[in-house]
Structure 1
Amino acid sequence: MKRRPSLFRRTALTVAAGLLVFQLAAGLAMFLNLVFPLAYRSADDLAALLVLSARIWTELPPEKRPAFEAELRDGHGLILRESECPLTESSLPYPYLRFLRSALASRLASDQSPRLSEDAHENFQVEFAQGGRLLRFEFSKTRIPPRPSRALVWIVVAGTLATLALSGLLARRVSAPVARLAEAARRIGSGDQPPQLPETGEAELADLARVFNETSRQLQARRENQTTLLAGVSHDLRSPLARMKMAAGLLAEQGSSPLLLRMQRDIVEMDALIGAQLELARAQERENAELTDIDALLGELVEAAEAQAPGRLRLRADGPACRATLAPLALRRSIGNLLDNALRYGGEGEIQVVRRRIKGAIFIGVRDRGPGIPPHLTEAVFRPFYRVESSRSRATGGSGLGLAITRQLAETQGWRVALKARRGGGVCAWLAIP
């Protein structure tokens, strides 16, 4: 089944996408309406200074020009000299220089087209004709404003990091209560009573936690009442059943009859049914886990089942000895019920008990060669008292609760149990312990 995206991931991506679009739109608007106009204004001011300086230099007497050049160098960071050969233009990676060329072209005559270049020392050079002389200005890269493209990169990087952090925080605030709710619901399903959820935070989440806590308390109370009721009913029923059994035994000593034998069988069946009902109720109680030798436990169960069907059972444990921390009594009941089910309905063929360990998980299978179960009924048979009529009539015995008890025990302990069709005929009941 395809895995659905988590609430945290979807919320984070949605918030991040919205904030990133906003960041890009805001950055573009800032550049178009603020950075670029200011850069063009600065380039126009520099162009005016260059043109004015060139005009003053050409009008000064030759002996005063060195002093004027020194003033430009010290006051404005501009180096002015007369050029002997035209400047070779180079590419202009800076938008500011393109603005500067446009501003110079608008202030100079058509025959005074400016040339711009960058030398090996990362100094920029501007050259144009003035008063019949070819003048060249040189200034450092620090003379121009910061590159807008670099500023844009920094804005995008900073905005992206802030957006990711904010979207993660918002998504966590939304998904964390839902995750706690899901975990609490999972624990209720396995028979545990989860701790109370904090009824804090936003109004909707606080109301949800309050309703869930109240529902959890009601379910726990109903479960306890059900267990108490079943225990009481079982006790109250078993007492008259015991008296009936004793009376039937006394009557049998005086003389046997078909009606008396039928009555004795009914008493035994009722007693077994009451015991199975009580076991189903107790299966909802979680058992303490302890270190268990699984192979030894399976060996004991197979040995006990051999007494009912000598020579029909075989245990196969793959790999080294298997020990794990789990509920031993629940495991013994679960596998015991699966073995009883296979002995009762699995025909006369061999019954295999298989233990495997795959990626840390333990799989225990009970495989028979019986008539099998239709695929559409492999889940229905786990319902209490459900029977597959073709092979599970009351004549075969049993209370119809064995698989239901096994499923309840597995869910309470966090295990999984399922029935699969076996190749060549029969059923394989698998118990998976993560």
Structure 2
Amino acid sequence: MAFEGLAERLQNTLTKIRGKGKVTEADVKEMMREVRLALLEADVNFKVVKQFVSAVKERAVGQEVLKSLTPGQQVIKVVNEELTELMGGEQSKVAVANKPPTVLMMVGLQGAGKTTTTAKLANHLRKSQNRNPMLVAADIYRPAAINQLETLGKQLNMPVFSLGNQVSPVEIAKQAIEKAKEDHHDYVIIDTAGRLHIDEELMDELQQVKDIANPDETLLVVDAMTGQDAVNVAESFHEQLDITGVVLTKLDGDTRGGAALSVKAVTNTPIKFAGMGEKIDQLEPFHPERMASRILGMGDVLTLIEKAQTNVDEEKARELEKKMRTMDLTFDDFLEQLDQVRNMGPLDEILGMMPGMNKMKGMKNLQLDDKQISRVEAIVRSMTKAEKTDPSIINASRRRRIAKGSGTSIQDVNRLLKQFEDMKKMMKQMTNMGKGKKKGKGGFKLPFM
């Protein structure tokens, strides 16, 4: 996950100051030295680091902190607020034109993930805002770029406007917008060509497309894994095309995350979306306050709830809640629940959104991947209907049969059975604690494996 190293360093540094009943200027100075090193190691632009450290230091040695009852917590609050401000302060939503269609122009270097992001953005607009977008294949230079967008369009059952690779991008953009008006599309997303390096020819052509399309948003797609280069690319594109927003791709990869913390500060252009995986639905609106909270180990409950609302069947969740209250949970229910949580994304990412999970014993070394989930599924599917309904009947010979049938060991089967029982007990406790309280909409319970 992005920011992993930075998050660990910052959390360790802040833990030292969190419980202090008295904080001196020397304490703040020591902490800020650690914070500065952590940010520089995460590849944050050195000018940005300097400004950030200065802003936090100034507030952290002020009277509001030093004389407060919980100065350690106040310092962390200051760091959280300044980190949020550094990434844009608040969410910057995608534009909506007064008169449809809203035109979005996607720009960036070759290899940043522009074509895939174009499709992801269209999918997001349709799913979350009930929009009716049209994709435009205006990258006539990269081999297979048009085919790639058309394939993604078919996958999403979404129209792709193309005139092939022998017509100029300017003409393609012009005709696409006319076609979108005729067919009543409310968004037009234009996928433009990238180059391996920024050059005058590329910029001139993009400027011509921009002049004819008059986009409501010019979104720069940047690969977060390129670190400082991402910031340099953002600066160059902004100077020449006056970009209105940034989409960071590969923010889920093995990246230090410095680009996300630098792009907004350097270009004064908001990060609008973040690509959190390769799947077509793994594009998230960028919330600076939520990202800051994740980095500082405070969790991201709002995004977790949104993921649950999008991917979890409410009626099934209510039914599951009833079963949990009566301890009537079966392994079939467990599989169904596991499948719904799986749809929300990688489990380690989901757990990372829960406040305090990073501090739980064993969480740091916990690897929750598809292989582990598949192993659990194989064990459950190797059980008979009677065994799934009443696991207490699973004796030694049955355990041997299940292990053999699922290609796992008896220890794996024993572990799952024990964890299933522990989970039932824990859920029972949780539902008992909730009795008498006002009940909201259907529940969402996470299987702990």
TM-score, with length taken from structure 1: 0.20
Normalized per residue, the structure richer in strand is 1
Kindly name which structure, 1 or 2, has the bigger radius of gyration based on alpha carbons.
1
- Bigger relative contact order, structure 1 or 2 (CA pairs below 8 A, ≥6 apart): 2
TM-score, with length taken from structure 2: 0.19
